[in-house]
Chains A and B, each alone.
Chain A
């Protein structure tokens, strides 16, 4: 059909995002349209109005946040949740119903026990104390202790030691810049440990093979920056594409800037992923920072302005603005 009708001469090749045939929208009109769609979907409309009164946090926090955001995005993208609908509001358990259930159960049990023993008074006291505790009122001190024979016998299994306590994870130092929650306990085999970087306690891993990026993140969380950098570079060198490769580059470049003062190395690492139209915003921003650190003012300004143009509502916008303003102040 297509060949018979000589279509290529008449139709554009495929649908795309270029102008036309719909009338082009201005930036403001597009924002209004998107905002109305988000409201129709029941979503809040995020706004990031830069506020110059808010002081930018120190550079270490900034770098940590960039890294955490990019890695968190990558982690979410790996979840591969297949059949999930739009987010549903999760209701809290009805407290009032629970209270009624607890009181009813204690009343039934107390009545039964008292009928058997004929001792009403301790049962009433117990029940009253339980009711007061449920309602948040402190129970009155008991003058007569309850005899154990009135207490229900429940066969509970012996408590198992927590996996976290066993691994000593609760005693491990907490890196407050690492915003990712800890993942399930790893099972690391000795054979794998020879190939991969050492896996510290509390590091996540799947039963078969540890995720190299998760290993690198854990090393960084333990402040073992050299080992973390090596692990990130392993991910980069492995040629992983997509978000994981970009996240590893961003994380490695952050460490180069923060702990190795190697701005040129960071630039080389970021250039392949920060110059495309579809670049991850954190990568573009970090490239601007790296240029700034390397003393390349022109490129730093150009990159930061490109970041502001491409991602006008990104949370890092204010920091990019602050950097540009600081540069304006110091310009001759």
Chain B
């Protein structure tokens, strides 16, 4: 289930305690971050099978990097960067971007009703379309549109020229729209 919105300063405070070795604070911090981390990992990895493994690795990386968080920015933004780097590295290392897709039907929680249910189904549809994108385009699209990175930031993160990022975004979004329209038509038909 999604967790209630927590103020960023609460997370930063828990992170400070966690970096001092407070196990309770670390546990609470992880519990608050798990939904966000899993969502972010799912945006970049194909299918649901490896989400929890990658989320676990990302949380470990986040814990090890807590000492480098200086408290001068939003904790979520800092954590997102750590998580996305960890996830992209793991996907590349295990060649998960080439793995065959074994998508299953989306199930949603019984408690999820109304707008929340619509939002969940919408995101599932969207990520299924993302699963069809080539790996390079998917990385650029997620970094730019989900994480709100600027184009130069995406280029820096991926180690490619800015024009390459623009090209990947343009082509990727065109494919995504086409795929999304096809998905809608298929469902309607």
Contact = CB atoms under 8 A, between A and B. Distances in A.
Number of chain B interface residues as a range:
35 or more
B123 to A, nearest CB: 3
Given A23-B48, A37-B60, A41-B60, A7 B173 contact: yes
Given A10-B177, A15-B80, A20 B119 contact: yes
A278 B24 contact: no
Interface string A25-48: 111001001101110110111100
Interface majority SS (helix, strand, loop, mixed), chain A = loop
A118 to B, nearest CB: 58
Interface in B124-177: 124, 126-127, 144-148, 151, 166, 169-170, 173, 176-177
A87 B15 CA distance: 12
A40 B31 CA distance: 15
A33 B52 contact: yes
A80 B21 CA distance: 15
Contact of A44 (B23, B59, B67): B23
A11 B56 contact: no
A21 B23 contact: no
B123 A15 contact: no
Interface string A132-146: 000000000000000
A86 interface: yes
A126 B5 CA distance: 70
Contacts of B59: 37
B42 interface: yes
A30 B31 contact: yes
A165 to B, nearest CB: 31
Given A24-B112, A277-B5, A38 B26 contact: yes
11 contacts: A1-B151, A12-B126, A15-B147, A16-B39, A22-B55, A33-B34, A37-B63, A40-B56, A85-B66, A87-B19, A242-B9
Interface of A: 1-2, 5, 7, 10-12, 14-27, 30, 33-34, 36-38, 40-41, 43-46, 73, 76-77, 79-87, 242-243, 277-278, 310, 313, 315
Given A23-B48, A38-B30, A86-B67, 13 more contacts: A1-B144, A1-B170, A14-B146, A19-B108, A25-B34, A25-B35, A30-B34, A34-B27, A34-B30, A43-B21, A73-B17, A76-B16, A86-B64
